Amino acid sequence: MGKGSVEREHRVAPRRIQLSRISHTAGSFGGYVEVKSPLNPQFYLALRAGYEIHHRVEDDGGAQNNHLYPERKSYEFALGYHLNHFQTLKFGYEWLKTNGVGGTRDNAFGVQFVTSVQSLSKSF
């Protein structure tokens, strides 16, 4: 069993979105943290948590809202199986939480087949 890994990202996107009758929009923040751990040479387990936050918006009439889009959070669990050096089969489940939206309608179970392809070594 090898060592696990931790990845993280935090991004700030101060941007102006052009929408009709909107005079001011602020940026957004987002990020994730992922922990991956091998269970044995062929299987690994991964956990990931992420978020996305959008800031206030103001229209030409001066009306304001604290968020352009609802804040979202996600939590993901995945089990991966290395078929060989170039191919992996992943099974995962993702829980999505959006402010103001209840229930589990946005949750997803997924199966992925991941492969790598050797690049072309000859030019034409």
Query: Where do the structural domains in the chain lie, given as residue ranges?
Result: 1-73
Average pLDDT, the chain: 79
Tens-digit pLDDT profile for residues 83-101: 998 999 999 999 988 877 7
> What's the mean pLDDT in 22-49?
84
34 beta partners:
7, 48
Question: Regarding predicted confidence, which is higher, 20 or 41?
Answer: 41
Q: Which of 83, 86, 92 is nearest to 112 (CA)?
A: 92
Maximum CA extent, the chain: 61
